[in-house]
Structure 1
């Protein structure tokens, strides 16, 4: 429900001005004496950011102007990532509705409310309670299925597999923005080692975004490739797929026992890429996927060392006729 009131500015003391807030509005938003309200000055005027701390948790609200679709789309995506839960937009409601329907494909839970004849549109975004660990597992599983779909297409050339891959791309976009939203939420609440884990997750999101974009470009090129060209990438893509899947499983589950297998696959793929006479865009994409997957695996090793919980015995030099030296705090 939209509402509007005109209030006069009053003088407070010798240097400040104030505007009173309607009591009903304050009751609706849970604003009480002492509640924090953020004022932001920009080119269009003054924005009031209301932090509502009710029984259901914290709500962040903001008001936007629908200046252009491109700018508004970026602002709404930023609001989503920053944890805003309610947005009021002034502009043509029907035009906004079309934009919001498009954005809802990548911003999970976005809902528009209010009349299509109103000059204001209210957008409600969900609070994000999903854990970043669950998101990492879901993202890893999704990209695994994406690799499998493209690999099966390379072997069978069945077009429905590329259509299946398209649906995975769209699902990843949703998880990517949801992951940024969840990570920003956690960074406000945790510290120490937990904060480092959130930082790892943000790096992971950036890496997998590049990985998925590379897969997108590869999928687009596969449409136009002939049988001989496709045959040439079967073996390198098979190894890239295995390395990527293992690295993703490492990050999601933290099972460092997979590292020796990844190291073995690295060597095999490195030899294949060195022998390859192709330096076309497709092979460049495979090289990029290999590098990204390797970076994800290295990040897990770094996390393992940081947490001093590494079970990878080969990290420690063996003594003659004995066991590796003990490390304080190392997991048994």
Structure 2
């Protein structure tokens, strides 16, 4: 999905961008992931009279109150850093969690506050070409900025107070758990990529799900959007048929209801930060029938899924 320049974004558009590509079935291409962090730092707009004039109250990481003399008039994006972060700066290609409050530049009225509660905002990947990168540059976690975004043909001028909450790992970081008897064995490489040993795994009557790592984040609900890594294996021959790890380890974002029934069962009720293992029979996978080399009909499948982020479906409505 190609993103528009930040000057063309409205509050609604940015709210949709919080999904970080949710609703799109396009698979990310790891070869397109930017690596030039210097370019990311250079993407930060300069401060200006408008962004400098905003007074912000409240601690970074909590909802803010911004005051300014309205209307503010400006024609180019302006960003003023009001609180520096701590730790290592974000690098191009990293995922971050963030929150913001938006205000009308015309009236000074608050429009929306979002991202400070679990499940409100999906982690997003930043680059010099992404809207977030063009607003935040290469911040360290904890940074707060005031962004003045000018009016366009489709959006009024708006003032944002952005908080960078944290960088988001692209692997599950929950507490390791013992898998139940009969589940396939999962080993994890140093980069987080899983491998599966099928062993005595059979074909259950319905999907069996076990938690390999237990996260402490938001609990995924039916219809939510999720940011995940996954690794899929055929029980019949132990071969990998699909894996985000084989595409550069770049997570994908999608709505839970877009997956097959068994995969949905592996997501709903799980917490962000968890790694789950699911054994999915054909009836809850890709259907019964003749097994062939070109599709997954008739196959019992094993998925290892790392749940990295989630956003309530209601946040997009």
TM-score range, shorter chain: under 0.3
When normalised by structure 2's length, the TM-score is 0.25
* Structure with greater helix share of residues: 1
* Structure with greater strand share of residues: 2
